[in-house]
Amino acid sequence: MWLTLTGSLLALLLLANYHRQSSQLSDLHDSGFVAINNPVPIEPFQLTDHEDRKVGREVLQDNWSLVFFGFTYCPDVCPTTLGILNQVVSEMAQPPRIILVSADPERDTPELLKGYVTAFNPSFIGLTGELEQLTSLGYQLRVAFRKTDETENYMIEHSANIALVNPAGEFVGYFTIPHRKEEMVQVLQRVM
The domain limits of the chain are: 1-31, 32-191
How do 54-55 and 162-165 pair as beta strands?
unpaired
Q: Is the peptide bond before 39 cis (omega within 30 degrees of 0)?
A: no
Lowest mean pLDDT among 21-25, 88-92, 178-182: 21-25
Residue-wise pLDDT for 105-116, tens only, equals 999 999 999 999
pLDDT at residue 32 above 70? yes
Q: How many Å separate Cα 191 from the centre of its chain? A: 14
pLDDT at residue 20 above 60? no
Contact 102, 134 (CB under 8 A): yes
Structure pTM?
0.85
Confidence of residue 25 (pLDDT cuts 50, 70, 90): low
The CATH class that applies to domain 32-191 reads: alpha beta
* Pick from 185, 187, 189, 190: nearest CA to 87: 185
Contact 183, 191 (CB under 8 A): no
The CA-to-CA distance between both ends of the chain, in Å, stands at: 40
Q: Across-strand partners of 171?
A: 40, 165
